[in-house]
Amino acid sequence: MVSYIFRRTLMAIPLLLGITILSFAIIKAAPGGPVAMLMDPKMKASDKEKFEEKYGLNDPIPVQYFKWLGNMAKGDFGESLIKRGTPVSELILNRLPNTLLLMTVSFLLTVLIAIPIGIYSAMRPYSPLDYTFTVGSFLGVATPSFWFGLILIMFFSVTLGWFPTGGVATLNAPFSLWDRIHHLILPAFVLATADLAALTRYTRSSMLDVLKQDYIRTAMSKGFKEKKVVIKHGIRNGMIPIITLFGLMLPSFIGGAAITEKVFSWPGLGQLFIDSAFQRDYPVIMALTVISAVFVVIGNLLADILYAIFDPRIEY
């Protein structure tokens, strides 16, 4: 298993390098790029040359890329163009805990709700409750997260006043765990909705295939209770295809978090990315793009490892 993980990690390195090259090339080719953001239009020619030399803008593009890659490998993503003098790594580290908290709670919500519903729908297909869950799943997949978030804010925050409209905590209030949970409920639910619906459908489909297998029917014919057969023999085999989905859900949470964090004014990496994109803060955009790529690679790596653990037919 260790050699399998090592090989899979090595295979991820070229992919990450390819993403950094592509991201760097796109940023350099963007109109009104970093140079336009850094330079003052009224700057003298002599000062402009010193400025370009200071930031290495006179170097060939490949040299600039390798300098940026070397600094990034040491954890140095440069300085923000908007917040002059502030390291990008500091901005990211300040926002990262909020995003990780939101993603973790959303993931737990998704798994704890979707899998039991999917298993029940497979055990009672075409029942009234199964049709209800199916319609709910389609609505969850089809509903845009920003629209759903605004609807929840209008109803639960503005009309009923049950939850705050945004933020991670009440302004100028002492730390309170309930206050954090109170602010977390709506954004976590919105972020979980789309993946919850998809995971429910995948679980139902996978469990339906497993429950039709001969070994399940044989166990049933021996007089074992349906619940016991499903728990002991069905769930493990039915969850094997779902495990792959877990790994792919990680990057989808990051993408969904950008919109959800903006709607709920949640100070995380997603909101930082959108703000940086509008303000053309290229060092921050580059850093967050690389971090997102790392999450994608980690998600796929975790999926492969879990797949190998749960399915003994996989050779590693």
| pLDDT, average across residues 35-58 | 67
| Separation of alpha carbons 79 and 54, rounded Å | 13
Q: Do 196 and 110 meet the contact criterion of CB atoms below 8 Å apart? A: yes
Looking at residue 251, its pLDDT comes to 67
- Output the pTM of the full model: 0.80
Q: Scan for tokens 């002492």, then name that residue.
A: 174
Domain-wise residue ranges, the chain: 1-74, 88-310
At 198 the pLDDT is 82
Fold of 88-310: MetI-like fold (1.10.3720)
pLDDT given for residue 293 in this prediction: 81
- For tokens 């930031």, name the residue: 55
Q: What is the mean pLDDT of the chain?
A: 81
> What does the pLDDT look like over 152-163, one tens digit per residue?
999 998 999 899
pLDDT in tens, 250-284: 766 666 678 888 888 888 888 888 888 888 788 88
> Residue 156: its pLDDT value, please?
92
Mean pLDDT of 72-86: 80
Say what the pLDDT of residue 35 is: 58
Q: What is the pLDDT of residues 49-76, one digit of tens each?
A: 776 676 677 778 888 888 888 888 888 8
Q: Which two tokens stand for residue 181?
A: 């949970």
Residue 112 has pLDDT above 80, yes or no: yes
Q: Residue 118 carries which side chain, given as an amino acid letter?
A: G
Given this model, what pLDDT does residue 49 score? Answer: 72
Exposed/middle/buried for residue 147 (C-beta within 10 Å: 0-12, 13-18, 19+): exposed
Give the chain as a 3 state SS string: CHHHHHHHHHHHHHHHHHHHHHHHHHHHHCCCCHHHHHCCCCCCHHHHHHHHHHCCCCCCHHHHHHHHHHHHHCCCCCECCCCCCCEHHHHHHHHHHHHHHHHHHHHHHHHHHHHHHHHHHHHCCCCHHHHHHHHHHHHHHHCCHHHHHHHHHHHHHHHCCCCCCCCCCCCCCCCCHHHHHHHHHHHHHHHHHHHHHHHHHHHHHHHHHHHCCHHHHHHHHCCCCHHHHHHHHHHHHHCHHHHHHHHHHHHHHHHHHHHHHHHCCCCCHHHHHHHHHHHCCHHHHHHHHHHHHHHHHHHHHHHHHHHHHHCCCCCC
Q: What is the mean pLDDT of the segment spanning 222-246?
A: 76
Q: Which one is predicted more confidently, 177 or 241?
A: 177
Burial profile 50-61: b = 16 or more Cβ within 10 angstroms, e = fewer? ebeeebeeeeee
At residue 40 the predicted structure's pLDDT band, cuts being 50, 70 and 90, is: low
